[in-house]
Amino acid sequence: MNLEFECERALNRIMNVIDLSMLNKTDTQTFKQRLNSQFPRLFALFIDIYGDRYDCHFYLQELVTCLAKGYGQRSGALKTKDKKRLSDPLWYKNENMLGMACYVDLFANDLVELKAKIPYLKSLGITYLHLMPLYDSPQGDSDGGYAVSDYRKVNEKLGTTKDLKALAKALANENISLVLDFVFNHTSDEHQWAEAAKHGNREFQDYYYMFDDREIPDQYEQHLREIFPQVRRGNFTWNEDAKKWVWTTFNNFQWDLNYANPAVFNAITDEMLYLANLGCEALRLDALAFIWKEMGTSCENQDKAHKLIQAFNCCLQISAPAVVFKSEAIVHPDEVLKYIDPKECQLSYNPLLMALLWNSLATRKTRLLTASMQKSFEISPKCSWVNYVRCHDDIGWTFDDDIANQLGINGNDHRQFLNQFYTGRFPGSFAKGVAFGENPSNGDCRVCGSMASLTGLEQAIEFGDQHLIENALSRIQLINAVIMSIGGIPLLYSGDEIGLLNDYSYRQQQDKMHDDRWVHRIALSEHALDDAKCTTSVANKVSNRLRQLIELRKQLVVLGDANTHIQATENQHIFAYTRKSQDATFLAINNFSEHEQIINGKILGLLNADVCMEHLTATTYCADQNHIVLAPYQVMWLTAE
Ligand code: GLC
Ligand code: GLC
Calculate mean pLDDT across residues 570-574: 98
Closest C-alpha residue for ligand 1 atom 12: 146
Q: Measuring CA to CA, which residue among 621, 613, 620 is closest to residue 637?
A: 613
What pLDDT score was predicted for residue 432? 98
DSSP secondary structure letters along 425-441: -STT-----EEES--TT
Query: Cα(178)–Cα(180) distance, rounded to whole angstroms?
Result: 7
Q: Tell me the one-letter amino acid at 521.
A: R
Condensed to tens digits (0 to 9), the pLDDT of residues 374-391 reads 999 999 999 999 999 999
Condensed to tens digits (0 to 9), the pLDDT of residues 441-460 reads 888 899 999 999 999 999 99
CA of 146 to the centre of ligand 1 (A): 6
- Counting ligands in written order, the one closest to the CA of 181 is 1
- pLDDT of 358 > 90? The answer is yes
DSSP secondary structure letters along 160-227: -HHHHHHHHHHHHHTT-EEEEEE--SEEETTSHHHHHHHTT-HHHHTTB-EESSSHHHHHHHTT---S
Of 256, 275, 309, which residue constitutes the final position of a domain? 256
Beta bridge partners of 563: 580
Cα Rg for the chain, rounded, in angstroms? 25
Chain-wide mean pLDDT for the chain?
97
Query: Cα(458)–Cα(433) distance, rounded to whole angstroms?
Result: 10
User: Does the residue 601 lie in any domain?
Assistant: yes
What pLDDT score was predicted for residue 440? 82
CA of 53 to the centre of ligand 2 (A): 32
Query: Cα(96)–Cα(84) distance, rounded to whole angstroms?
Result: 17
Calculate mean pLDDT across residues 293-317: 98
User: Distance of alpha carbon 277 from its chain centroid, rounded?
Assistant: 21
Is 256 one of the catalytic residues?
Answer: no
DSSP secondary structure letters along 54-79: TTHHHHHHHHHHHHHHHHHTS-HHHH
Whether the CB-CB separation of 262 and 206 falls below 8 Å is answered with: no
Of 328, 400, 458, 497, the catalytic one is: 328
CATH of the domain at 534: 3.20.20.80
- Same domain for 206 and 244, yes or no, is yes
Mutate to test the pocket of ligand 1, among 142, 143, 251 (most ligand atoms within 8 A of CB): 143
Number of domains in the chain: 3
Helix axes 76-87, 161-173, angle to 10 degrees: 40
Residue-number span of the structural domain to which 577 is assigned = 559-640
Cβ of residue 143 lying under 6 Å from some atom of ligand 1: yes
- Same domain for 415 and 496, yes or no, is yes
- Counting ligands in written order, the one closest to the CA of 103 is 1
CA of 287 to the centre of ligand 2 (A): 7
- pLDDT of 170 > 90? The answer is yes
- Same domain for 550 and 438, yes or no, is yes
Condensed to tens digits (0 to 9), the pLDDT of residues 480-539 reads 999 999 999 999 999 999 999 999 999 999 999 999 999 999 999 999 999 999 999 999
- Same domain for 408 and 550, yes or no, is yes
Of 522, 555, 588, which residue constitutes the final position of a domain? 555
Q: Measuring CA to CA, which residue among 157, 159, 155, 164 is closest to residue 190?
A: 155
Whether the CB-CB separation of 400 and 334 falls below 8 Å is answered with: yes
What pLDDT score was predicted for residue 302? 98
Is 141 one of the catalytic residues?
Answer: no
Whether the CB-CB separation of 126 and 97 falls below 8 Å is answered with: no
What pLDDT score was predicted for residue 439? 85
Of 110, 163, 281, 286, the catalytic one is: 286
What pLDDT score was predicted for residue 380? 98
What pLDDT score was predicted for residue 69? 97
CATH of the domain at 574: 2.60.40.1180
Query: Cα(238)–Cα(93) distance, rounded to whole angstroms?
Result: 46
Of 228, 256, 284, which residue constitutes the final position of a domain? 256
- Same domain for 570 and 546, yes or no, is no
User: Does the residue 178 lie in any domain?
Assistant: no
Q: With 0-12 CB in 10 A as exposed, 13-18 as middle and 19+ as buried, what is 94?
A: middle
User: Does the residue 32 lie in any domain?
Assistant: no
- pLDDT of 420 > 90? The answer is yes
Mutate to test the pocket of ligand 2, among 132, 143, 330, 339 (most ligand atoms within 8 A of CB): 330
Condensed to tens digits (0 to 9), the pLDDT of residues 21-30 reads 999 999 999 9
- Same domain for 546 and 571, yes or no, is no
User: Does the residue 235 lie in any domain?
Assistant: yes
- Same domain for 579 and 549, yes or no, is no
Helix (H) or strand (E) holding 324: strand 324-327
- Counting ligands in written order, the one closest to the CA of 288 is 2
User: Does the residue 565 lie in any domain?
Assistant: yes
CA dist 540 → 403, 469, 473, 529, 633 (Å): 39, 13, 11, 9, 19
- Nearest atom in ligand 2 to the alpha carbon of residue 286 is 9
- Same domain for 404 and 551, yes or no, is yes
- Same domain for 545 and 471, yes or no, is yes
User: Does the residue 294 lie in any domain?
Assistant: no
- Same domain for 517 and 585, yes or no, is no
Whether the CB-CB separation of 2 and 47 falls below 8 Å is answered with: no
Q: With 0-12 CB in 10 A as exposed, 13-18 as middle and 19+ as buried, what is 590?
A: buried
User: Does the residue 387 lie in any domain?
Assistant: no
Q: Kind of pairing, strands 150-154 and 135-136? A: antiparallel
Closest C-alpha residue for ligand 2 atom 7: 330
Calculate mean pLDDT across residues 579-607: 97
Condensed to tens digits (0 to 9), the pLDDT of residues 187-212 reads 999 999 999 999 999 999 999 999 99
User: Does the residue 501 lie in any domain?
Assistant: yes
- pLDDT of 230 > 90? The answer is no
Mutate to test the pocket of ligand 2, among 224, 227, 251, 335 (most ligand atoms within 8 A of CB): 227
CATH of the domain at 212: 3.90.400.10
Query: Cα(486)–Cα(357) distance, rounded to whole angstroms?
Result: 12
- Counting ligands in written order, the one closest to the CA of 392 is 1
- First-residue to last-residue Cα distance in the chain: 62
CA dist 158 → 115, 266, 296, 506 (Å): 12, 28, 42, 20
- Same domain for 452 and 438, yes or no, is yes
- Same domain for 624 and 588, yes or no, is yes
Cβ of residue 144 lying under 6 Å from some atom of ligand 2: no
Helix (H) or strand (E) holding 577: strand 574-580
